[in-house]
Amino acid sequence: MKKRLRIISIFSFLIGTSLIFSASYFELFFPAKNAFYLGIFGDIVLAIIRSLGVSLITSTFINLLKFWVESTETLVKHDFINRLTRNEMKDLKEKIEKELYFRYNNHDKDNFYNFFEQELSSLLNECYYKSHNTWIECHVTENYFSKTIRKRFEIVNPSRRKRTIKIPFGAEMQRVEQVENNKLYQIKRFSVDSKDYTKEINSRLEISEDCPYISDAYCVKVHTSWDIKVKKQCTVDMVIETIAPLNDVCFSNKVTMPCKKYGLVFILKDSSYQLSWHSFGFMGNHKNKIVEELMDNSLEIGFNDWILPGDGVVVSISKCEKKHV
């Protein structure tokens, strides 16, 4: 801001001085007694040029004096921030934070401040989930678990620019005997703001198997994605059906963006099994903000506060213990 003011003041002073000297130059070489006298019209033009020059110089000094007198008040009221560019505001923020937190100690690069500055503060102007809800209905057959998973989430864009968000679809799954790999993960519905894209997303879905070459049991890879443009807000709705062997007893659900309100409902359609759960990420540190409803064959979890990308819940399925008579 000071640099811009200095440049503008210098230009105004130079232009004003040039105009005054130009008018004086013409008056010196074309006086009234001269044969080439400019006449009344010329006098008017020279008077205008001289007045303009004087005005520029005067306004420059007035603005400098006004800035000097009002600078303290402007600083106290923080009005000067409105005049700063984005880079100038970032520099000011960094200087203030260093004074606040590192005046009496070293500004070590390997500390939480730098982690927050580089990793977390970058999310402040990014899209987030206003709400993220998942409903799972799990059936138990003789050979496998079959799950119907419905997800519905609202994405909000806090910035003024339209942003492109990638919606991932993917899983690492185990093979299931007598079930084809393309039946292990099926997208039954996918819509954005009620516009259906089920056919398009299924045409992109890739399911690959590396089981003969690697020892990892989760050798069936499922992946694809869909890009959506978010101007202010949009709603995404999807239904996915999966099949997993009976030894694959864990189901994880996590968010890929900051989330303001998280919810999960898991219903198990078999009374001989029971559910348990635990959270990962920040949820475990805020027990007072978790809404939990746990019964023998169903689970409902709600979290009414912010969680970060990668946070979520793991649900485990286990056989009920037989009661001894």
Would you list the domain boundaries of the chain? 2-83, 128-161+177-196+230-319
Flag the least confident range among 72-81, 173-182, 246-255.
72-81
pTM: predicted TM-score of the whole model, two decimal places: 0.67
**Torsion angle of alpha carbons 64, 68, 74, 78, nearest 10°?**
90
Q: How many helices (H) and strands (E) does the chain have?
A: 5, 14
- Higher pLDDT among residues 34 and 263, named by residue: 263
Between strands 298-303 and 250-254, the pairing is unpaired
According to DSSP H, which parts of 30-110 are helical?
39-77, 86-102
Flag the least confident range among 115-119, 211-215, 291-295.
211-215
Q: Predicted confidence band at 133 (pLDDT cuts at 50, 70, 90)? A: very high
Q: Predicted confidence band at 47 (pLDDT cuts at 50, 70, 90)? A: confident
Q: Does residue 283 have a pLDDT over 80? A: no
Given this model, what pLDDT does residue 280 score?
80
- Please check whether residue 301 is in contact with residue 249, taking contact to mean a CB–CB distance below 8 angstroms: no
The predicted model gives 77-85 an average pLDDT of 72
- Higher pLDDT among residues 274 and 4, named by residue: 274
Say how far apart CA 295 and CA 52 lie, in whole Å.
84
Q: Predicted confidence band at 201 (pLDDT cuts at 50, 70, 90)? A: very high
Given this model, what pLDDT does residue 131 score?
96
Q: Does residue 325 have a pLDDT over 60? A: no
Contacts of 160 (CB under 8 A, 6+ apart): none
The predicted model gives 3-24 an average pLDDT of 71
- How much of the chain exceeds pLDDT 70, in percent? 74
Given this model, what pLDDT does residue 2 score?
56
Q: Does residue 1 have a pLDDT over 60? A: no
Count Cα neighbours of 289 within 13 Å in the Cβ-side half-sphere: 15
Say how far apart CA 9 and CA 13 lie, in whole Å.
6
Q: Does residue 55 have a pLDDT over 70? A: yes
Given this model, what pLDDT does residue 292 score?
83
- Please check whether residue 228 is in contact with residue 165, taking contact to mean a CB–CB distance below 8 angstroms: yes
Residue 325 CA, chain-centre distance (Å), reads 57
Between strands 185-192 and 195-196, the pairing is antiparallel
Given this model, what pLDDT does residue 244 score?
95
Q: Does residue 35 have a pLDDT over 50? A: no
Say how far apart CA 232 and CA 163 lie, in whole Å.
9
Given this model, what pLDDT does residue 57 score?
73
Q: Predicted confidence band at 225 (pLDDT cuts at 50, 70, 90)? A: very high
Q: Does residue 126 have a pLDDT over 90? A: no
Between strands 233-245 and 185-192, the pairing is antiparallel
| 203 φ/ψ angles, rounded to the nearest 5 degrees | -70, -20
- Please check whether residue 19 is in contact with residue 56, taking contact to mean a CB–CB distance below 8 angstroms: yes
Q: Predicted confidence band at 41 (pLDDT cuts at 50, 70, 90)? A: low
Q: Predicted confidence band at 177 (pLDDT cuts at 50, 70, 90)? A: confident
Say how far apart CA 87 and CA 149 lie, in whole Å.
45
- Write out the two tokens for 292: 């939990």
The predicted model gives 120-129 an average pLDDT of 80
Q: Does residue 155 have a pLDDT over 50? A: yes
